[in-house]
Structure 1
């Protein structure tokens, strides 16, 4: 496996991003080389073997290059957050083009397999049992996006069901049957509303 350069300090990263505005090729190359570990980190979630790992690193690198080329400081995100999103998007587009995941993927449907052959779901990317710094950045960004868009995208009923179903905003988790009881509707109807709400949220995470 390749050994990648250590990440840049925040100060040096800011300097490179400033130089990049002037089309500085050396700054561009430095940002790419010192962020290759982001590519490797994201790729590990999708690769099922050494051969596929190499292929996905190449594809993920394209996403990183796109991130370096298109990042703007006024996006409100750290560069690493933005780069992870671009890398994941590039890899997911690759899987979709090979029909390894469907275009209508939801948070709880499989989008690939890990190196042990276990299915990977989109929710697994957002919620990791052993997060490191990169995971924290990605999760923090996803949760920020969801939190600031849920009320805008969802109906009051959809919002209520997701909040109670997954214990958001400090609420206690409830089963679909329990929620159905509070709303005086059927459990299957709650399930349909929940699925529809998750599909709405999936679109903004893509």
Structure 2
């Protein structure tokens, strides 16, 4: 048999990672068998053992849980009052029985919020936390049924979970609720008026002060993840469509490639010593730019002689004529050398 955990531990400490379910263990929630000689509290025997929920796979099966909870009878008004008062005195058994009797209410409320991008098991877990809070805060002397009171806490906890997961920037629950109302009102008025409504029209439709609506409209939109999938079939993400501002455009790449080609064509037209000086001075050999002293030491000549050779080589490069890239076009002057050329000449 798969290991089981009691309800209280399941609610307060939900498992985060579990092995996949086997075919023989697809019943996600099962009531444990009574031990020999035990009977439930309804038959006058020992108190009923708490329902143990077995977690299988990575998600809850709410239908199976609903069936398991449906076999537990609803509490009468008198039983609610009795269990609540006993729970407030610290009796854990009464508190747990009151929680178990209303677990089906949690599933019912969680189903209303299904399809919002949050797994069903997370919604149920949050609803369980709201149910526990309601049990601890419920006062039967106020005259309302426990389920009526618990709905507020369960829904509030579930909505809080949805709000926190939907937005990267945390907002108070009241503001998040107003934003949802604003979105609905905007959609309705846009369809009705045929244009985007103004802040004044939204304020009148929502029954809110104009200043509050303007503050809501001024809130920054929620950031969008670059990893958001936009095409499931093509495995395409939003980041794939954004241009890299630092990337070189195809036109610039083509111009640069042509300029480099022309530059080396010019170098090949120079004497070998001139080529060597220009390659070393401007790093055209891939080794980085060298100073006059470094070139002079490598060629075993003076710095002044290196400068003279460099200036003569540059003059020859500028005087060279290259064939036009367009067939039959006029000849072009030599290509522009690296930006450091002017600094070197100075």
Give the TM-score taking structure 1 as reference length: 0.51
Of 180, 205, 210, which residue of structure 2 is paired with 1:109? 180
In structure 2, C-alpha distance between the alignment counterparts of 1:47 and 1:198, rounded to whole Å: 32
Of 147, 155, 159, which residue of structure 2 is paired with 1:88? 155
Other-structure match for 1:58: 125
Other-structure match for 1:196: 207
The 8 Å contact of residues 107 and 198 in structure 1, kept in 2 or not, is answered as no
Change (3 A) 1:198 1:14: farther
Of 131, 140, 148, which residue of structure 2 is paired with 1:73? 140
In structure 2, C-alpha distance between the alignment counterparts of 1:61 and 1:35, rounded to whole Å: 9
Of 38, 41, 44, which residue of structure 1 is paired with 2:108? 41
Change (3 A) 1:90 1:198: farther
Other-structure match for 2:75: 8
In structure 1, C-alpha distance between the alignment counterparts of 2:119 and 2:209, rounded to whole Å: 30
In structure 2, C-alpha distance between the alignment counterparts of 1:190 and 1:75, rounded to whole Å: 41
Per-residue deviation, residues 67-93 of structure 1 (Å, max 9, x unmatched)? 101111244432111111100111111
Root mean square deviation, CA, Å? 3.4
The 8 Å contact of residues 126 and 158 in structure 2, kept in 1 or not, is answered as yes
In structure 2, C-alpha distance between the alignment counterparts of 1:194 and 1:84, rounded to whole Å: 28
The 8 Å contact of residues 106 and 198 in structure 1, kept in 2 or not, is answered as no
Per-residue deviation, residues 36-87 of structure 1 (Å, max 9, x unmatched)? 01101100001229x8222211111011001101111244432111111100
Change (3 A) 1:36 1:75: same
In structure 2, C-alpha distance between the alignment counterparts of 1:17 and 1:60, rounded to whole Å: 19
Per-residue deviation, residues 117-176 of structure 1 (Å, max 9, x unmatched)? xxxx8xxxxxxxxxxxxxxxxxxxxxxxxxxxxxxxxxxxxxxxxxxxxxxxxxxxxxx9
Higher Rg: 2
1:32 aligns with 2:102: no
Change (3 A) 1:79 1:195: same
Pairs aligned (count): 126
In structure 2, C-alpha distance between the alignment counterparts of 1:15 and 1:67, rounded to whole Å: 16
In structure 2, C-alpha distance between the alignment counterparts of 1:6 and 1:43, rounded to whole Å: 21
In structure 1, C-alpha distance between the alignment counterparts of 2:177 and 2:115, rounded to whole Å: 21
In structure 2, C-alpha distance between the alignment counterparts of 1:76 and 1:69, rounded to whole Å: 16
Question: Going by fraction, where is helix more abundant, 1 or 2?
Answer: 1
1:17 aligns with 2:84: yes
5+ residue gaps, structure 1: 111-120, 122-175, 178-186, 201-206
Superposition deviation, residue 188 in structure 1 = 8.2
In structure 1, C-alpha distance between the alignment counterparts of 2:157 and 2:180, rounded to whole Å: 19
